[in-house]
Amino acid sequence: MLKYNVSLLLKPEVGATLGLDIDEVHQTLGDLKVDYVRGQLLLTRTNRGVLIKGQLSTELEVECVRCLEPFQLALTVSLEEMFTFSAATDPIYHIDEGWLDLRLPLREQILLTLPMHSLCRSDCKGLCNNCGHNLNEGPCNCSTEEIDPRLSALKKLL
């Protein structure tokens, strides 16, 4: 759900803090589905709203860029966001009637933390250029004989 009641921080003085332990499973963050979200956040009351700081760990299914197989990728994301008390000031994040919704900032931080090229393992061999066989499962039956492209026209004569 990733929605938390933080109404305790609505009226206290600036500097009041609240610790928040996160332990959620099978969450949907827009188009992202994560297996779990765990960690601790420190919420601090400011004159503009509530500052959220902490680290969360999560795991989601991604596709290897070499072999195109899905695999589970573990990530640790840092959150440091300001949530205001009113949407009228046009903030990105706000606390709605005492409820803090972490889905959008968490989704954004996961997207920023994802590697550009996700590999299922560092020694992934990828796919065969000719037949598309996953080379991690063993060699394919394609010919490994390389012909000089300048002589490829002669092969047609054989």
Task: Please tell me the predicted confidence (pLDDT) of residue 91.
Answer: 61
Is pLDDT of 40 > 70?
Answer: yes
| Averaged pLDDT score across all residues of the chain | 89
What pTM, to 2 d.p., does this model score? 0.78
Distances (CA, A) of 4 to 22, 66, 101, 148: 10, 40, 7, 65
Q: Which residue has the tokens 């099978």?
A: 26
Structure tokens that stand for 151 in this block = 């002589």
Domain extents for the chain?
Answer: 3-137
pLDDT in tens, 86-101: 766 656 788 888 888 9
- HEC sequence for 36-67: EEEEEEEEEECCCEEEEEEEEEEEEEEECCCC
Mean pLDDT, rounded, for 6-32? 90
Please report which residue ranges of the chain form alpha helices under DSSP H. Answer: 103-113, 152-155
